[in-house]
Amino acid sequence: MRKVLDVLRLAEAALARENGINMDDIQRLLKLRTRTAQRLIHLFEEAFPAVEKRKDPDRTRWWKLHDEPLIRYQGIREKELASLETAILRARQHGSPLEVHHLESIRDRMLASMSPIEARAIKRNAKAVLEARGHAYRPGPRARLNPDILSAIEEALETSMRLSVSYQGKEDAVATDRSLESYGLLFGIREYLIARDTNKDDRLRSFRLDRIAAIAVTDQPFQKDPEVDLQAHAAKAFGSYYSEEEFGPVAWRFSPEAAKVAREFEFHPDQRVEETDDGGMIVRFSASGWLEMAWHLYKWGDGVTVLEPAGLAKVVAEHRRGDFPSLP
């Protein structure tokens, strides 16, 4: 039965991916060794004789399916439904109503493609899988998000239309009207819209969603800058807040005891780790967002020392404790 499911999974990938699949894809997809993957591809070719096979100039072999009703109408499996339900729970926990809406639409559409008897059986089995996994999600805390605001931002991102926003910044006594060119959303402790303010310079700025009093999508299109890399921009922040003034090298030294736990963490996607002679470790990266760093560092008590920047070291200096019963 396992081999049948693996062959069907290859067929799904060969149909869904524009160029089909190659041997590296197969090994990565199913976590197989080369010889096992080669044997499985022979079974795949026997099960789907219409598969298109080709070889690149570099001798890479590809398999591509163009139309296969068996794959298109197979519905959803119980473990897939369980994982989808898990994703919905996580999205709801993180306060992402639009993600919840879209994931629920996918789930309902997949279940609707099956007969009522099959759908009931799949839902029953998926529930058993979820219970076996023991997944549960704490009730909070999390910021409440207005789905209407998220919906408007999503529309603006899809259509490249400017947003008219009434926004009250941290230093503003009242909300002011702004014309924004949106580039993306960052989700973290707080959720931010990443956009350019047309009345200011070309810098990308962060706007907290909970400080948006009113929002509307305009009929004014704008041309997105192709050089903007949202992922690279996000990496400039430790959490979800970016400050150009704070951006720079960061270095934290973990004590030998704290390092045992800290080695299990990725504090930043571009981090570099140095082992120290006493069994501790130093983590280095470049980012901004001292306040969010301070919130995180507090959990480590006196097990971590800020080497740089000096401004962050000053923020946390009076809040290092040695009486926490455990580390994060």
Q: Please give the pLDDT value at position 140.
A: 53
Cα 204 to Cα 209: distance, rounded to the nearest angstrom = 15
**Residue 2 pLDDT class (50, 70, 90 cuts):** confident
Q: Please give the pLDDT value at position 136.
A: 53
**Residue 15 pLDDT class (50, 70, 90 cuts):** confident
Q: What is the mean pLDDT of residues 131-154?
A: 69
Amino acid at 132: A
Whether pLDDT at 135 is above 60: no
User: In this prediction, what percent of the chain has a pLDDT beyond 90?
Assistant: 38
For residue 47, with 0-12 CB atoms within 10 Å meaning exposed, 13-18 middle and 19 or more buried, which class applies? middle
Domain ranges of the chain: 2-72, 78-133, 147-227, 248-319
Nearest to 147 by CA among 91, 224, 198: 91
Give 29's strand partners: none
Whether pLDDT at 134 is above 80: no
CATH number of 2-72: 1.10.10.10
pLDDT digits (tens, 9 = 90+) for 218-239: 999 999 998 888 888 888 889 8
pLDDT digits (tens, 9 = 90+) for 113-132: 778 888 888 888 888 777 66
User: In this prediction, what percent of the chain has a pLDDT beyond 70?
Assistant: 92
pTM: 0.60
The dihedrals phi and psi of 323, each to the nearest 5 degrees, come to: -110, 15
Q: What is the mean pLDDT of residues 277-281?
A: 96
Q: Please give the pLDDT value at position 150.
A: 83
Q: What is the mean pLDDT of residues 6-15?
A: 85
Q: Please give the pLDDT value at position 106.
A: 85
Q: Please give the pLDDT value at position 275.
A: 96
Computed over every residue of the chain, the mean pLDDT equals: 86
CATH number of 147-227: 2.30.30
Q: Please give the pLDDT value at position 69.
A: 67
Q: Please give the pLDDT value at position 95.
A: 66
Phi-psi region of 223 (alpha: psi -120 to 50; beta: other; left: phi over 0): beta
Whether pLDDT at 137 is above 60: no
Architecture of domain 248-319: 2-Layer Sandwich (3.30)
Cα 143 to Cα 166: distance, rounded to the nearest angstrom = 19
Whether pLDDT at 209 is above 80: yes
